[in-house]
């Protein structure tokens, strides 16, 4: 029997951390329904080695002094607690009124990164959105991984086709725009302990190349560090493709058989000039040639691209060229390269079953990416009158005023709504104008299978995310909130007629039989997913075996040979040169070299820290000393020219905003680039106690213009906008 919170005064629960996709196995000690200790679960066969202070202090968020414990309704400038019945009834009535006045698109949603760490949340939220029939869907993709989705769709036929890294067999790592020493080896894939494993390969002779404008913790350990100009990875990677194709270093068989479009690539690179590309990315031509040759001729190699590549207006092309390098040098589905892990659930097939008609945004006219529109479009969609104008909005696990471009513009738009609902633990910056705050449960307080990340792990792996403690009585899981809203709005959940009646009946049956499991909920879906999942050793996985493997379960060996069968392109080949990417690259080649606009001579880049998780852990005293904020890191030569000394307070400004923060003078960034971590400057309010909001550091995304975006991924220049810097006082 797996222990639960009720089974005794002191219990140990084995589960996993759901802050990041490293998914570290945890051993959680519980006494009286309180978490007293969180340690790595060293019996977990797949993942615990990345275990960090964020996981260790997760109970501090559960016990956050400002945690919202019951639904709270705004009355004037403050909040009063209300019952769930009141909350659901009022929200449903106001959303229904918005729909009656303006159609289904009048109701919008933004869902952030943590939503992806709860299958029940994502599935039931989409069920509710389909019930409402709204296209006003916004998510974190346009400020994170959209470039990858666009590339995966065009090259492999599915937005979810995410190749995983075979780190332990790799001889040559080309890591572009990623800092795995800090962020762990994860994005739309996860290699637990990936950075240590790469360093172990390095000890055995492997080469690590890090491409990053900042000398990061990872760059410091690398054999080669290329300090690229922000946003110009596309030029660097295109130059490498050119060297490889011009010198005949490609993998002939894969170029002829696995991939289509290699001739189009040859034509593209024939039109590009190496010196021009080298000047754009500001890496010496000789270094580019050397790395390209070493990469192409290494026995086993991989390119890995991440947020440092995607968060620019050139992000999709750079992301694409990273995949191209892997494909043309024969790195797909080969040891030491990038593999496809089928996992126990075929998420690609599941996602292909949802056939949505393309939708173009009302004002910008852009098509959805991965089922959602771009965050940069949201403010105008709220404030511009006309059919389809958003009047009611729900924020599910997100802080878009801090995570997205031009936070001030979004903040003003959110203030203009007729209804803003936030589901979260605490009231943060983006929830400032909320009419309703709905208390969420933490992953320590809920069970979840998290099945659809199954093929992102670097080996077939399954762990049931058991809850460690019961949530506060007033908190609710998102799936329950979305189901209640669908029922109250009389809209059929999942757009499935008859389902609402069935849900009501199952609830009544659960009450009568006093068996909560009888109620329709995500546990039904979890069981179905496992029962219909892939076979291992010729047998289907049994639910009781899932529960029995408390420390997690490696279902079988890492296998090669699944990549081709997973392709969803019509011809089952990799499309190495999608025409829209060729066109966009030619556009970029025709553009003049990047020049800072007058008055804004620096490029603003970003980095992460081990103890921050985007915007949501920066106020925890267990992770950050009180009063700590972010700083702006400036190269000594730039600092000298500005007359700025280490510790001085400076103003960083752009055409759309300005922030003040202390300067750190350091040789880590390349000249002309200043670094400010995102995620800071988010107020944490006190809707229950009425205390003043607390806020640490500055929101650097106030400086990012939301106007210019990558036309393919719809991402703004989050990590390459131009700014000015001046000393204050």
Ligand X SMILES: Nc1nc2c(c(=O)[nH]1)N[C@H]1C(S)=C(S)[C@@H](COP(=O)(O)OP(=O)(O)OC[C@H]3O[C@@H](n4cnc5c(=O)[nH]c(N)nc54)[C@H](O)[C@@H]3O)O[C@H]1N2
Q: Which parts of this chain interact with Mo ion (CB under 5 A)?
A: 144
Q: Which is nearer to Mo ion, 144 or 484 (CB)?
A: 144
Residue where the block lists tokens 């290329």: 226
Q: How far is the CB of 561 from Mo ion (least distance, A)?
A: 30
Closest to 114 in 3D by CA, of 390, 426, 409:
426
Q: Which is nearer to ligand SF4, 306 or 670 (CB)?
A: 306
Question: Which residues does 351 contact at the CB level (< 8 Å), separation at least 6?
Answer: 158, 159, 160
Among ligand X, Mo ion, ligand SF4, none, what binds residue 55 when CB lies within 5 to 8 Å by partner kind? ligand SF4
* Residue 1, token pair as written in the block: 């029997």
| 694: helix, strand or coil | strand
Among ligand X, ligand SF4, Mo ion, none, what binds residue 719 when CB lies within 5 to 8 Å by partner kind? ligand X
**426 phi, psi to nearest 5 deg:** -130, 160
Q: Which is nearer to ligand SF4, 158 or 612 (CB)?
A: 612
Q: How far is the CB of 257 from ligand X (least distance, A)?
A: 31
* E strand or H helix that includes residue 585: helix 579-590
Q: How far is the CB of 550 from ligand X (least distance, A)?
A: 22
Q: How far is the CB of 145 from Mo ion (least distance, A)?
A: 7
* Residue 232, token pair as written in the block: 């110009």
Closest to 296 in 3D by CA, of 265, 270, 327:
327
**51 contributes a contact to ligand SF4 by CB under 6 A:** yes
Q: Which is nearer to ligand X, 500 or 715 (CB)?
A: 715
| Residues lying near ligand X in the complex (CB under 6 A) | 20, 112-114, 118, 140, 143-144, 176-180, 182-184, 186-187, 211-214, 216, 228, 230-231, 233, 306-309, 311-312, 396-400, 403, 423-425, 428, 440, 478, 605-608, 610, 612-616, 678-679, 701, 718-720
The span from the CA of 545 to the CA of 464, in Å, is 10
Q: How far is the CB of 534 from ligand X (least distance, A)?
A: 27
Q: How far is the CB of 439 from ligand X (least distance, A)?
A: 9
- The CA-atom distances, in angstroms, between 701 and each of 400, 408, 596, 623 are 10, 9, 18, 22
* E strand or H helix that includes residue 423: strand 419-424
Q: Which is nearer to Mo ion, 144 or 677 (CB)?
A: 144
Among ligand SF4, Mo ion, ligand X, none, what binds residue 50 when CB lies within 5 to 8 Å by partner kind? ligand SF4
- Region for residue 670 given its phi and psi (left: phi exceeds 0; alpha: psi -120 to 50; beta: otherwise): beta
What are the start-end ranges of the E strands in 68-135? 72-75, 78-81, 107-111
- Region for residue 585 given its phi and psi (left: phi exceeds 0; alpha: psi -120 to 50; beta: otherwise): alpha
Contact string (CB under 6 A) for ligand SF4, positions 167-186, x = contact: -----------------x--
Instruction: Tell me which residue has its CB nearest to ligand SF4.
Output: 55
| 408: helix, strand or coil | helix
Instruction: Give the residues across from 604 on adjacent strands.
Output: 674, 721
* Residue 363, token pair as written in the block: 């004002």
Q: How far is the CB of 73 from ligand X (least distance, A)?
A: 17
Among ligand X, ligand SF4, Mo ion, none, what binds residue 341 when CB lies within 5 to 8 Å by partner kind? none
Among Mo ion, ligand X, ligand SF4, none, what binds residue 17 when CB lies within 5 to 8 Å by partner kind? ligand SF4
Instruction: Tell me which residue has its CB nearest to ligand X.
Output: 308
Q: Identify residues 19-38 at the interface with ligand SF4 (CB under 6 A).
A: 19-20, 22-24
* Residue 302, token pair as written in the block: 């991989």
Q: How far is the CB of 50 from Mo ion (least distance, A)?
A: 16
* Residue 453, token pair as written in the block: 């990340």
Q: How far is the CB of 457 from Mo ion (least distance, A)?
A: 17
Closest to 176 in 3D by CA, of 723, 722, 719:
719
164-165 and 574-575 beta bridge pairing: unpaired
User: Is 530 within 8 Å of 544 (Cβ atoms)?
Assistant: no
Residue where the block lists tokens 């809203």: 485
Q: How far is the CB of 443 from ligand X (least distance, A)?
A: 6
Among ligand SF4, Mo ion, ligand X, none, what binds residue 14 when CB lies within 5 to 8 Å by partner kind? none
Q: What is the largest CA-CA distance in the chain?
A: 76
Figure out which of the listed residues 13, 41, 46, 50 binds ligand SF4, where binding follows CB under 6 A. Answer: 50
Neighbours of 545 (CB within 10 A): 14
Q: Which is nearer to ligand X, 306 or 331 (CB)?
A: 306
Q: How far is the CB of 217 from ligand X (least distance, A)?
A: 9
Question: Which residues does 164 contact at the CB level (< 8 Å), separation at least 6?
Answer: 189, 190, 191, 338, 339, 340, 341, 455, 456, 457, 458
Q: Identify residues 52-71 at the interface with ligand SF4 (CB under 6 A).
A: 52, 54-55
Q: Which is nearer to Mo ion, 72 or 188 (CB)?
A: 188
Q: Which is nearer to ligand SF4, 50 or 429 (CB)?
A: 50
| 519: helix, strand or coil | coil
Residue where the block lists tokens 């090669």: 560
Q: Which is nearer to ligand SF4, 20 or 222 (CB)?
A: 20
Q: Which is nearer to ligand X, 144 or 484 (CB)?
A: 144
Q: Which is nearer to ligand X, 134 or 715 (CB)?
A: 715
Among ligand X, ligand SF4, Mo ion, none, what binds residue 24 when CB lies within 5 to 8 Å by partner kind? ligand SF4
Count, residues in the chain: 729
Residue where the block lists tokens 């092309």: 317
What are the start-end ranges of the E strands in 448-506? 461-462
Q: Which is nearer to Mo ion, 192 or 472 (CB)?
A: 192
Instruction: Tell me which residue has its CB nearest to Mo ion.
Output: 144
* Residue 172, token pair as written in the block: 């040559």
**442 contributes a contact to ligand SF4 by CB under 6 A:** no
The span from the CA of 161 to the CA of 329, in Å, is 19
Q: Which is nearer to Mo ion, 187 or 602 (CB)?
A: 187
Instruction: Give the residues across from 38 on adjacent strands.
Output: 28
Residue where the block lists tokens 């790595």: 40
Q: How far is the CB of 184 from ligand X (least distance, A)?
A: 5
Among Mo ion, ligand SF4, ligand X, none, what binds residue 70 when CB lies within 5 to 8 Å by partner kind? none
User: Is 581 within 8 Å of 154 (Cβ atoms)?
Assistant: yes
User: Is 231 within 8 Å of 719 (Cβ atoms)?
Assistant: yes
Q: Which is nearer to ligand SF4, 55 or 398 (CB)?
A: 55
The span from the CA of 656 to the CA of 617, in Å, is 27
Among ligand SF4, ligand X, Mo ion, none, what binds residue 396 when CB lies within 5 to 8 Å by partner kind? ligand X
Contact string (CB under 6 A) for ligand SF4, positions 332-371, x = contact: ----------------------------------------
Q: How far is the CB of 123 from Mo ion (least distance, A)?
A: 20
Summarize as ranges the residues that interact with ligand SF4 (CB under 6 A).
17, 19-20, 22-24, 50-52, 54-55, 184
């Amino acid at each position: 029997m797996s222990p639960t919170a009720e089974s005794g005064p002191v219990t140990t629960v084995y589960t996993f951390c759901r802050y990041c996709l490293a998914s570290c196995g945890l051993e959680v000690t519980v006494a009286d329904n309180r978490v007293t200790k969180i340690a790595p679960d060293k019996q977990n066969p797949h993942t615990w080695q990345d275990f960090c202070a964020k996981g260790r202090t997760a109970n501090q968020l559960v016990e956050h002094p400002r945690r919202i414990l019951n639904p709270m309704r705004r009355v004037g400038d403050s909040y009063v607690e209300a019952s769930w019945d009141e909350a659901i009834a009022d929200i449903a009535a106001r959303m229904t009124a918005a729909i009656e006045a303006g159609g289904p698109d009048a109701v919008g949603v933004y869902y952030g990164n943590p939503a992806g760490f709860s299958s029940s949340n994502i599935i039931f939220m989409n069920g509710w959105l389909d019930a409402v029939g709204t296209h006003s869907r916004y998510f974190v993709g346009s400020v994170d991984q959209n470039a990858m989705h666009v590339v995966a769709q065009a090259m492999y036929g599915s937005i979810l086709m995410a190749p995983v890294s075979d780190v332990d067999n790799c001889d040559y790592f080309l890591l572009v725009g990623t800092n795995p020493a800090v962020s762990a080896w994860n994005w739309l894939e996860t290699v637990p302990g990936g950075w240590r494993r790469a360093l172990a390969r390095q000890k055995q002779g492997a080469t690590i190349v890090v491409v990053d404008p900042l000398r990061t913790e990872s760059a410091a350990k690398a054999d080669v560090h290329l300090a690229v100009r922000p946003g110009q990875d596309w030029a660097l990677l295109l130059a490498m493709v050119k060297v490889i194709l011009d010198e005949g270093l490609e993998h002939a068989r894969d170029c002829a058989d696995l991939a289509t479009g290699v001739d189009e690539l040859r034509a593209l690179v024939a039109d590009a000039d190496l010196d021009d590309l080298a000047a754009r990315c500001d890496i010496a031509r000789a270094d580019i040639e050397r790395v390209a040759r070493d990469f192409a001729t290494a026995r086993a190699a991989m390119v890995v691209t991440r947020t440092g590549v995607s968060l620019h207006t050139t992000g999709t092309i750079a992301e694409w060229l990273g995949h191209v390098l892997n494909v043309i040098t024969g790195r797909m589905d080969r040891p030491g390269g990038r593999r496809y892990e089928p996992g126990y659930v075929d998420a690609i097939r599941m996602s292909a079953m949802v056939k949505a008609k393309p939708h173009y945004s009302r004002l910008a006219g852009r098509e959805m990416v991965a089922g959602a529109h771009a965050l940069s479009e949201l403010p105008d969609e709220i404030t511009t009158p006309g059919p389809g104008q958003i009047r009611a909005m729900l924020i599910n696990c997100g802080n878009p005023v801090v995570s997205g471009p031009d936070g001030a513009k979004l903040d003003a738009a959110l203030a203009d709504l007729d209804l803003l609902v936030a589901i979260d633990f605490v009231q943060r910056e983006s929830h400032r104008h909320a009419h309703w705050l709905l208390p969420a449960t933490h992953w320590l307080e809920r069970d979840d299978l998290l099945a659809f990340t199954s093929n992102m792990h670097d080996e077939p792996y399954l762990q049931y995310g058991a809850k460690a403690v019961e949530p506060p009585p007033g908190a609710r899981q998102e799936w329950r909130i979305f189901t209640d809203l669908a029922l109250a709005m009389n809209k059929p959940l999942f757009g499935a007629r008859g389902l609402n009646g069935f849900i009501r009946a199952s609830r009544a049956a659960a009450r009568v039989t006093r068996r909560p499991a009888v109620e329709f909920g995500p546990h039904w879906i979890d069981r179905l997913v496992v029962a219909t999942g892939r076979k291992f050793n010729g047998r289907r996985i049994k639910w009781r075996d899932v529960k029995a493997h408390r420390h997690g379960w490696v279902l079988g060996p890492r296998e090669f040979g699944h990549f081709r069968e997973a392709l969803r392109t019509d011809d089952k080949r990799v499309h190495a040169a999608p025409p829209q990417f060729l066109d966009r690259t030619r556009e970029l080649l025709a553009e003049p070299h990047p020049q800072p606009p007058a008055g804004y001579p620096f490029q603003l880049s970003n980095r992460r820290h081990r103890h921050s998780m985007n915007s949501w852990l920066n106020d925890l005293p267990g992770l950050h000393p009180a009063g700590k904020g972010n700083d702006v890191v400036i190269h000594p030569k730039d600092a000298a020219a500005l007359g700025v000394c280490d510790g001085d307070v400076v103003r960083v400004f752009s055409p759309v905003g300005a922030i003040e923060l202390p300067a750190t003078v350091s040789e880590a960034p390349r000249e002309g680039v200043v670094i400010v971590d995102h995620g800071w400057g988010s107020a944490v309010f006190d809707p229950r106690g009425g205390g003043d909001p607390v806020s640490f550091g500055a929101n650097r995304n106030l400086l990012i213009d939301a106007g210019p975006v990558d036309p393919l991924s719809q991402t703004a220049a989050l990590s390459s906008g131009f700014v000015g810097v001046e000393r204050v006082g």
